[in-house]
């Protein structure tokens, strides 16, 4: 006898009843839709990369301006109220 198997075959004739529930919300909306994902092209990657780098540079300049300029610091403080 091979380990993990038995000579007596177990028969399980009970069927599991699955409750069919209608999907609600986004799952119900997307049930019949087929989506395909395509990788972004080189031009799109360059555009998004440029936007991210530009926003990071602006953020760094604003932080430096905030730390060095007292008037700008007061302006930000008063806007935050």
Nearest to 79 by CA among 16, 5, 71, 20: 71
CB of 57 closer than 8 Å to CB of 49: no
Looking at the structure of the chain, the number of domains it has is 1
For 24-65, the pLDDT digits (tens) are: 777 777 777 777 778 889 999 999 999 999 999 999 999 999
Supply the DSSP symbol for 30: T
Does a structural domain hold residue 75? yes
The answer to pTM > 0.85 is no
Q: What are phi and psi of 7, to 5 degrees?
A: -75, -30
Question: According to the model, what pLDDT value does residue 15 have?
Answer: 56
Q: Is the pLDDT of residue 75 over 60?
A: yes
Does a structural domain hold residue 28? no
CB of 76 closer than 8 Å to CB of 66: yes
CB of 34 closer than 8 Å to CB of 42: no
Does a structural domain hold residue 69? yes
The residue range of the domain holding 75 is 39-80
Does a structural domain hold residue 70? yes
């Amino acid at each position: 006898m091979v380990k993990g198997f038995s000579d007596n075959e177990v028969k399980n004739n009970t069927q599991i009843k699955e409750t069919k529930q209608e999907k609600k919300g986004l799952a119900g909306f997307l049930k019949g839709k087929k989506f395909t994902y395509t990788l972004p092209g080189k031009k799109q990657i360059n555009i998004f990369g440029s936007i991210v780098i530009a926003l990071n540079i602006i953020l760094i300049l604003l932080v430096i301006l905030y730390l060095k300029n007292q008037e700008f610091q007061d302006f930000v403080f008063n806007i935050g109220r």
